[in-house]
């Protein structure tokens, strides 16, 4: 009974453990399944990888936006060639209707008073003549007035003034349409427009630089994947041969061969372990190279990538160092950008010099005034008006500011021209270094091509001789290792040449152009 109870408890325990394991496995599957479903394996050639990278690269999107910004800046600069038309509308209400008030006295000149006195006297004489026929011997009013004037008794007359005149209503709307057209600016508008146009070219060069960088990065990582792929395949072949040698050594040693000792067997076994360890290292490096390529292509970290190529293109030397340096001066984005920046400061000099000259503009205006009072200063005559004219502004003295601006622009331009000399030397040095690497790897390729054939023949002869117990174990192991190392160096020479060529294209600035030509 006790034994049965123990068996039953053990079964219950195992059932619980089985259920728990099923839950754990189910959880792991649920956690991993979305990642597996999202992951994609892409099989790509070098051109495919570059095309995907150019499509996904975020820096290129930034460069596209920069080009659009430069385009808008150029359009802003070009707008200065056209007239500006502004509409201003102002509606206002004052606290009360404005009035024109006048208080005091107004005195007429003496001449006016005298003329007025004579006129009145003549009128009185006319009335008297009509009514009475005139009184003989009696002075007339005109004569009396003339006597008073001659005696200086007639002076100006003063009148009191007390006037309140409404000028306009308290509510007004002023509408004004103004036009301004620059006729002459001393070359300032042309200089600013030229700077904006060069800014567009600089933005395009920045995009070309980014595209070249993308192509170069993809090539580097693609070549890295291809090299590790070749070396991994090489180690797998070498490992298979070394295992065969190890097993053959074991049989010869156990079979009583007089030439094979236990140390030979241990040497062969150690060689297998060494190659096996190297194989694992190359597997890890291949995975890392693929991860770098995936990142350069702008893919998700969940994606996997495999390359189509299994070998490098045979190295060639089809350009001279001088031709590459000349091409770098023509196509390198950094050098081209510097040359454009020099042109910008040339235009800045022209812009600064324009302050020495006058600005002339054509100006016109249309004006309408609405007021709730129909008389006063706003009436049918004054509520609509227009004007047109030409304005001139000439800054005759500003304390030497214009002279300093011109000199600053000249110094900035000279500074960039001096930097251009340094950049020329730096570019030539970089091209020379990449060219020498390309030349060295090309020569190594030629040497190692023959060495690989020799190493294969040596390994084949030593292996067959070893099977007949005609050579020592260290000889066959050495021949196999020599073949592996020689072939590995052969692959590296191809990789180094391809990488040096990609580096040269990147420095020269023709990486993207060559890729598009393909």
> What one-character DSSP code corresponds to residue 104?
E
Beta-carbon contacts of residue 465 (< 8 Å; ≥ 6 apart): 471, 476
Q: Which of the four pLDDT bands, split at 50, 70 and 90, describes residue 16? A: low
User: pLDDT value at position 36?
Assistant: 42
Backbone angles phi, psi at 90, to 5 degrees: -130, 125
The yes-or-no verdict on residue 428 having pLDDT over 80 is: yes
- Both tokens of 345, joined, read 């400061």
Q: How far apart are CA 91 and CA 444, in angstroms?
A: 87
Burial of 132 (0-12, 13-18, 19+ CB in 10 A): exposed
Q: If you search the block for the tokens 């990488």, which residue do you land on?
A: 499
108 pLDDT exceeds 90?
A: no
Please indicate whether residue 32 or residue 304 has the higher confidence score (pLDDT).
Answer: 304
Is there a contact between 441 and 434 (Cβ–Cβ < 8 Å)? no
**Which positions ≥6 away from 361 have C-beta within 8 Å?**
180, 181, 182, 183, 390, 391
Using CA atoms, how far apart are residues 185 and 359, in angstroms rounded to an integer?
5
Residue 31 predicted with pLDDT over 50: no
> What token pair was written down for 216?
């170069």
- Tokens, residue 385: 């008006």
- Mean predicted confidence (pLDDT) in 212-232: 95
User: Higher-confidence residue: 416 or 41?
Assistant: 416
Q: What is the 3-state secondary structure (H, E, C) of 195-210?
A: HHHHHHHHHHHHHHHH
Q: Which residue in this structure is represented by tokens 């030629």?
A: 446
Q: Are 182 and 147 in contact (CB under 8 A)?
A: no
**For the whole model, what pTM was predicted?**
0.74
Q: What's phi and psi for 97, nearest 5 deg?
A: -65, 135
State the average pLDDT over residues 195-201: 94
SS3 126: helix
Closest CA to 386 of 185, 208, 240, 178: 178
In this prediction, residue 309 carries a pLDDT of: 93
Burial of 462 (0-12, 13-18, 19+ CB in 10 A): buried
Q: Give the pLDDT confidence score for residue 2 in this predicted structure.
A: 41
Range in 8-17, 104-113, 307-316 the model is least confident about: 8-17
Strands 99-107 and 359-371: unpaired
472-504: per-residue pLDDT in tens?
888 888 999 999 999 999 999 999 999 999 999
More confident of the two residues 4 and 424: 424
- Tell me the two tokens of residue 339: 């040359």
Percent of the chain's residues with pLDDT above 70: 88
DSSP secondary structure string for all residues of 160-199 = EEEEEEE---SEEEEEEEEEEEEEE-TTHHHHHHHHHHHH
* Distances, alpha carbon 450 to alpha carbons 210, 242, 457, 459, in Å: 40, 23, 11, 14
Average pLDDT over residues 184-210: 93
The C-alpha torsion from 193 through 195 and 196 to 197, rounded to 10°, is: 90
Contact assessment for residue 500 and residue 441, using Cβ atoms and an 8 Å cutoff: yes
Cα–Cα distance for residue pair 439/366, rounded to 1 Å = 77
| 100 CB neighbour count, 10 Å cutoff | 12
User: Helix, strand, coil shares of the chain as percentages rounded to 5?
Assistant: 70, 15, 20
DSSP state of 135: -
Domains along the chain with CATH numbers:
41-82+186-349+401-517 (1.20.1600.10), 85-98+169-184+359-393 (no CATH), 104-166 (no CATH)
Closest CA to 466 of 301, 248, 163, 308: 248
Express each pLDDT in 364-399 by its tens digit: 999 999 998 888 888 888 889 999 999 999 999 989
Name the nearest CA neighbour of 162 among 108, 100, 107. Answer: 100
The pLDDT value recorded for residue 488 is 94
Residue-level pLDDT at 164:
84
Strands 84-93 and 171-184: antiparallel
Cβ neighbours of 101 (radius 10 Å): 8
pLDDT given for residue 115 in this prediction: 79
- How far the first Cα of the chain sits from its last, in Å, is 85
pLDDT band at 17 (very low <50, low <70, confident <90, very high): low
CA dist 274 and 271 (Å) reads 5
- Going by the DSSP 8-state scheme, the letter that residue 400 receives in this structure is T
One DSSP character per residue, 13-36 reads HHHHHHHHHHHHHHHHHHHHHHHH
Q: What is the pLDDT of residues 116-163, one digit of tens each?
A: 777 777 777 777 776 666 556 567 777 777 777 777 777 777 778 888
Decide if pLDDT at 324 tops 60: yes
Q: What is the pLDDT of residue 7?
A: 43
Q: Which two tokens stand for residue 371?
A: 């007021």
Average pLDDT over the chain reads: 86
DSSP 293-310: HHHHTT--TT-EEEES--
pLDDT digits over 237-260, tens only?
999 998 998 888 888 878 777 677
To the nearest 10 degrees (0 to 180), the angle between helices 333-353 and 401-467 is 180
Over the stretch 36-93, which tens digit does the pLDDT of each residue have? Answer: 444 578 899 999 999 999 999 888 889 999 999 999 999 999 999 999 999 999 999 9
Q: Which residues contact 193 (CB under 8 A, 6 or more apart)?
A: 74, 77, 78, 80, 81
Neighbours of 288 (CB within 10 A): 14
Looking at residue 93, its pLDDT comes to 93
């Amino acid at each position: 009974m006790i034994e049965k109870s123990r068996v039953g408890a053990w079964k219950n325990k195992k059932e619980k453990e089985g259920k728990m394991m099923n839950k754990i496995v189910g959880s792991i599957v649920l956690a991993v399944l979305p990642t597996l479903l999202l992951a994609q394996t892409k099989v790509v050639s070098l051109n495919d990888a570059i095309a995907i990278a150019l499509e996904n690269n975020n820096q290129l999107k930034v460069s596209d936006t920069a080009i659009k910004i430069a385009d808008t800046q150029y359009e802003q600069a070009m707008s200065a060639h056209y007239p500006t038309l502004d509409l201003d509308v102002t509606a206002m209400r004052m606290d009360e209707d404005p009035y024109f008030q006048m208080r005091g006295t107004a005195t007429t000149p003496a001449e006016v008073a005298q003329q007025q006195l004579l006129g009145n006297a003549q009128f009185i004489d006319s009335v008297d003549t009509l009514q009475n026929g005139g009184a003989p011997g009696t002075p007339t009013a005109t004569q009396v007035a003339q006597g008073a004037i001659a005696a200086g008794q007639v002076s100006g007359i003063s009148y009191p003034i007390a006037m309140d005149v409404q000028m306009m209503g308290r509510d007004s709307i002023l509408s004004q349409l103004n036009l301004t057209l620059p006729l002459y600016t001393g070359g300032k508008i042309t200089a600013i427009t030229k700077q904006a146009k060069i800014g567009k070219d600089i933005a395009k060069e920045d995009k070309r630089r980014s595209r070249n960088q993308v192509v170069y990065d993809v090539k580097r990582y693609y070549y890295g994947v291809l090299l590790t792929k070749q070396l991994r395949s090489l180690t797998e072949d070498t490992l298979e041969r070394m295992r065969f040698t190890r097993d053959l050594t074991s049989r010869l040693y156990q079979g009583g061969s007089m030439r094979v000792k236990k140390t030979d067997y241990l040497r062969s076994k150690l060689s297998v372990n060494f190659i096996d360890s190297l194989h694992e290292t190359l597997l890890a490096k291949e995975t890392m190279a693929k991860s770098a390529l995936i990142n350069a292509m702008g893919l998700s970290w969940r994606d996997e990538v495999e390359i189509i190529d299994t070998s490098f293109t045979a190295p060639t030397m089809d350009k001279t160092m001088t031709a590459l340096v000349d091409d770098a001066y023509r196509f390198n984005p950094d050098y081209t950008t510097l040359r454009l920046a020099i042109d910008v400061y040339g235009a800045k000099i022209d812009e600064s010099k324009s302050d020495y000259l006058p600005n002339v503009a054509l100006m016109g205006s249309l004006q309408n005034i609405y007021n709730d009072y129909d008389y006063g200063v706003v009436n049918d005559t004054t509520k609509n008006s227009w004007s047109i004219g030409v304005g001139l502004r000439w800054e005759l003295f500003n304390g030497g500011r214009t002279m300093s601006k011109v000199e600053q622009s000249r110094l900035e331009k000279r500074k960039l021209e001096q930097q251009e000399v340094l950049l020329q030397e730096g570019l030539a040095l970089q091209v020379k270094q990449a060219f020498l690497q390309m030349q060295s790897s090309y020569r190594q390729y030629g040497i190692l091509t023959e060495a690989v054939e020799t190493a294969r023949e040596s390994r084949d002869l030593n292996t067959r001789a070893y099977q007949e117990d005609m050579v020592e174990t260290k000889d066959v192991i050495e021949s196999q290792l020599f073949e592996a190392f020689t072939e590995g160096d052969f692959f590296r020479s191809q990789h180094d040449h391809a990488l040096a060529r990609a580096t040269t294209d990147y420095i020269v600035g023709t990486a993207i152009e060559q890729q598009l030509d393909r």
